[in-house]
Amino acid sequence: MSDRSPRHRGPQRAPDRVRRVAYQVIRQVNAEGGYANLALNKALRDSRLSGRDAAFCTELVHGTLRWQGTYDAFLARSVSRPLDELDPELLDMLRLGTHQLLNMRVDSYAAVSEMVSLTRAELGQKRTGLVNAVLRKISQREMGQWITTVAPRWEDDPLGHLAIAEAHPRWVVESFDRALSDGPGAAPPGEAVNELERLLVADNEPPRVSLVARPGLAEVDELVAAGASPARWSPFGAVLEGGGDPGRIGAVAAGRAGVQDEGSQLVAIALASAKVDGDDADWLDLCAGPGGKSALLASLVKDGRLTAVEPLKHRAELVRQNLRTVPGDHKVLVGDGTKPTWPAGSFDRVLADVPCSGLGALRRRPEARWRRTPKDVEELRPLQEALLESAISSVRPGGVVAYVTCSPHPDETRAVVDAVLDRRDDASLEDARALFPGVPDLGDGPDVQLWPHLHGTDAMYLALIRRSAGT
């Protein structure tokens, strides 16, 4: 590990290598719209950081990106100009320093001194004075004191307080509050805000690595023998409690098992286990890329086939790769799910796992919460409705559709389902809760919302819709 003590070095010493890699990754993510996980993995490989250095670098990158909106509120009180007048590269430097000072056990003197060296190397000597002065101000208070200083009081504005204290944009906090107050599995009156706090805290914890043993190809026991523990509810799931690279497990390397959140497994299993009378050999995955749910559905369809649709070629290729080990006559179509190339009513079961804001998977993508906007949700709505319409038209009378999102935002979940079902007289909502055997806290139904703080899964939403003959 690098020597992190500045005391034995001269004033012009080289910056710490680990912090430099972390800073460059943060810049790439914030300046170029990159994904933290991809950029970090590449940077760790290229710089050959491993062990404790890699862990330190990961915490610097993930923590800084996850908390950056909150840190900006602190920095706004510590810089004499409005933050949007600061150069973005300087702002990222200040955020990285703030994270070390307030959220990591790095000695204040070391953190400031390291950030001054890094600023000199990356941004030039002229910027070091400002970084030194601002970070010294930040170091004068602890995290809790900063929150008390800048956040609205809980008593006056609990959502505004939580937005700062738990690092989520306010509009996201408000949408989660709506979902928890009157969505499926709503908290009892008066409890919603406490539950909201538990959700936001859970969103700030990196998830455990969750695996799926593809039915017929691998057994959970094989994953357990490789060090995983059985998942709580998915009969095909397992969890790598201590983390680590899942690729080292033979079944994963061979594509007989995969990495998949337990919530994603549960919604696919729910669709596969809904009661359907008569023919049951043709299943459709209407929005398939990258194909995690396709692979699970294809290994569950008995004596039948899955058709997987995905408009983006490179994602359709990922679906093909995910299906390569699953026996059967499965098909991948590159196309638009709203423009079916198959006759209406051709399928017995349809999954519409529609493109969404991804607000249910914030644990996985530290930068995502600050990048999404309410406009994204608004703009996705017509596509979500069109895909659900198409899914219902694609299923035969008596067959079922699962409308799924990895977002709990009510405008992407119930609002879409209600709008589409209001327009149709040939489909109705069914209670889906019985399709999640043993899973607690599913509320009053009929739709199902899973939550990170209650189920340890991504916040997956499922509505089960049955097609009737119509009038």
Ligand X SMILES: C[S@@+](CC[C@H](N)C(=O)[O-])C[C@H]1O[C@@H](n2cnc3c(N)ncnc32)[C@H](O)[C@@H]1O
Smallest separation, CB 360 to ligand X (Å)? 10
Among 24, 47, 139, 338, binds ligand X (CB under 6 A): 338
The single residue of 49, 351, 406, 459 carrying the catalytic annotation is 406
Nearest C-alpha neighbor of 58 from the set 29, 78, 80, 37: 37
Per the annotation, binding residues are 287-293, 310, 336, 353
Task: Answer yes or no: 57 catalytic.
Answer: no
Q: Read off the tokens for 192.
A: 């919603």
List the x/- string, 195-214, binding to ligand X by CB under 6 A: --------------------
Nearest C-alpha neighbor of 396 from the set 334, 467, 316, 328: 467
Nearest C-alpha neighbor of 266 from the set 443, 445, 459, 415: 459
Whether 242 contacts 260, CB under 8 Å: no
Of the pair 100, 294, the CB lying nearest ligand X is at 294
Of the pair 128, 299, the CB lying nearest ligand X is at 299
Whether 319 contacts 337, CB under 8 Å: no
What residues numbered 226-255 form the site for ligand X, per CB under 6 A?
Answer: none
Among 237, 258, 337, 408, binds ligand X (CB under 6 A): 337
Among 15, 169, 250, 290, binds ligand X (CB under 6 A): 290
Q: Does 336 bind ligand X (CB under 6 A)?
A: yes
Of the pair 49, 448, the CB lying nearest ligand X is at 448
What residues numbered 349-368 form the site for ligand X, per CB under 6 A?
Answer: 353, 355
15 prior amide bond cis, ω within 30: no
350 φ/ψ angles, rounded to the nearest 5 degrees: -135, 130
Q: Does 160 bind ligand X (CB under 6 A)?
A: no
Of the pair 290, 445, the CB lying nearest ligand X is at 290
Per the annotation, binding residues for S-adenosyl-L-methionine are 287-293, 310, 336, 353
Specify the amino acid at residue 145.
Q
| Exposure letters 251-278 (e unless 16+ CB within 10 A, then b) | bbeebbbbebbbbbbbbbbbbbebebee
Q: Does 411 bind ligand X (CB under 6 A)?
A: no
Q: Does 287 bind ligand X (CB under 6 A)?
A: yes
Of the pair 289, 399, the CB lying nearest ligand X is at 289
What lies within 8 Å, CB to CB, of 403 at 6+ separation is 352, 354, 388, 391, 416, 417, 462, 463, 465
Strands 461-467 and 448-449: antiparallel
C-alpha count within 13 angstroms, C-beta hemisphere, residue 438: 6
Q: Which stretch binds ligand X (CB under 6 A): 167-175, 195-203, 282-290, 361-369?
A: 282-290
Q: Does 292 bind ligand X (CB under 6 A)?
A: yes
Q: Distance between CA 225 and CA 208 in Å, rounded?
A: 18
Q: Which stretch binds ligand X (CB under 6 A): 50-58, 132-140, 176-184, 285-293?
A: 285-293
Q: How many residues bind ligand X (CB under 6 A)?
A: 20
Site residues for ligand X per CB under 6 A: 264, 286-293, 309-312, 315, 336-338, 353, 355, 387
Hey, which residues are catalytic here?
406
